[in-house]
């Protein structure tokens, strides 16, 4: 979808992949409001899909007005509330006293030249600027923790049996800690929000080449063509945003 009202154009898509029975990802694509989100739900049965849907639909209802700081505050407030809702307010049964229901989230907010990225979990935000790819978000996952704390190489860390376990997610613990990165943007900057199902099978070079294409729609198409050409074991979602 190309929108000319705001300086930001974007395109978004989700796909169930080739193996999973349902899609637990959800996305939000609101270029007029300068708000984009990818959420990757987790939990048995429908729980994951409900969690990610609850996140994007609640974020979609937030008021669009106000400066970046105010809007970031609202997004944080909303995510903290949903963390409480999914973690502490659920009715449980004796058969399943500890249901898993949660979701990663990565959100991008823009306001003229400024932007803010907010995230929890391993869904990512990338920036493609002047021919270079930057990963702006840092995964909240065991594999990232092993790399940071035990100085393991990414290859060594990935061999850990629980490498993909998340260390943070909405609904996962009593207190949600969100990471926030604010930065200046420049014309031509291209951002990508995506779930792990998309980035796992793509090299940084492939990501960069796709994001370098002339339109957000073409970039998105290339990303999905490449990812769906592989095993696509997980659901995959992406939002491509360009100034």
Partner 1 sequence: MSDPLLASAEASDLTYFAFAASAVDKPVARAEPETPRTAPGELPEVLGGRYRIERLLGVGGMGAVYRARDLLREQFGDPEPYVALKTLSEDFAEYPDANALLYSEFALTARLSHRHVVRLFGFEVDTACQRAFITLELLKGPTLDQLLSERPGGLPWQALSEIVIPLLEALAYSHSLGVLHGDLKPSNVMLADDGLRLFDYGLGQPLDGVLPGLPRLCRSRFAAWTPRYAALELLEGAPLTAAADVYALACVIYELSSGSHPFRRLSAKQAKAMELDRELQRPANLPAHCWPALRTALAFDEARRDIDAAGLLDAFRRPAPGLLQRLLRRTNG
Residues that bind partner 1 (CB under 8 A): 44-47, 50-51, 53-54, 57, 77, 80-81, 84-86, 88-94, 96-97, 99, 101, 174
Token pair 């491509």 is found at 240
Residue 74, SS3? helix
Q: Do the Cβ atoms of 126 and 191 come closer than 8 Å? A: yes
In whole angstroms, give the CA distance from residue 11 to residue 156: 35
Least Å distance, CB 229 to partner 1, is 28
Least Å distance, CB 8 to partner 1, is 24
Least Å distance, CB 128 to partner 1, is 33
Q: 22 vs 188, which CB is nearer to partner 1?
A: 22
Q: 34 vs 43, which CB is nearer to partner 1?
A: 43
The number of C-alpha atoms within 13 Å of 131 and in the hemisphere containing its C-beta is 0
Nearest to 42 by CA among 59, 28, 24, 29: 24
Least Å distance, CB 85 to partner 1, is 6
Query: Ramachandran region of residue 27, left (φ > 0), alpha (ψ -120 to 50) or beta?
Result: beta
Least Å distance, CB 231 to partner 1, is 25
Q: 96 vs 159, which CB is nearer to partner 1?
A: 96
User: Which is it for the CA torsion 21, 104, 77, 82, positive or negative?
Assistant: positive
Q: 89 vs 149, which CB is nearer to partner 1?
A: 89
Q: 53 vs 164, which CB is nearer to partner 1?
A: 53
Q: 86 vs 241, which CB is nearer to partner 1?
A: 86
In whole angstroms, give the CA distance from residue 196 to residue 218: 20
Q: Do the Cβ atoms of 35 and 59 come closer than 8 Å? A: yes
Least Å distance, CB 178 to partner 1, is 13
Q: 20 vs 160, which CB is nearer to partner 1?
A: 20
CA distances (Å), 92 to each of 14, 104, 205, in order? 30, 22, 45
In whole angstroms, how large is the CA radius of gyration of the chain? 17
Least Å distance, CB 51 to partner 1, is 7
- Token output for 129: 């600027």
In whole angstroms, give the CA distance from residue 101 to residue 44: 8
């Amino acid at each position: 979808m190309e929108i000319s009202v705001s300086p930001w154009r974007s395109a978004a898509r989700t796909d169930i992949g080739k193996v999973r029975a349902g899609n637990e990802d959800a996305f939000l694509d609101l270029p007029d409001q300068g708000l984009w989100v990818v959420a990757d739900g987790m939990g048995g049965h429908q729980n994951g899909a409900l969690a990610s849907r609850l996140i994007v639909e609640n974020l979609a209802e937030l008021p669009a007005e106000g400066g970046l700081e105010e809007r970031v505050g609202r997004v944080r407030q909303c995510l903290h509330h949903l963390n409480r809702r999914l973690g502490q307010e659920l009715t449980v049964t004796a058969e399943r006293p500890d249901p898993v229901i949660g979701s990663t989230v990565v959100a991008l907010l823009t306001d003229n030249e400024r932007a803010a990225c907010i995230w929890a979990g391993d869904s990512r935000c990338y920036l493609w600027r002047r021919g270079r790819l930057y990963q702006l978000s840092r995964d909240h996952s065991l594999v990232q923790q092993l790399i940071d704390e035990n100085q393991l190489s990414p290859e060594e860390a990935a061999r850990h049996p629980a490498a993909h376990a998340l260390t943070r997610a909405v609904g996962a613990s009593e207190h949600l800690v969100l990471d926030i990165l604010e930065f200046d943007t420049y014309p031509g900057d291209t951002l990508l929000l995506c779930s792990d199902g998309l980035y796992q099978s793509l090299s940084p070079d492939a990501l960069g080449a796709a994001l370098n294409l002339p339109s957000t729609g073409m970039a998105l198409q290339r990303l999905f063509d490449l990812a769906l050409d592989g095993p696509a074991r997980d659901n995959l979602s992406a939002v491509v945003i360009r100034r």
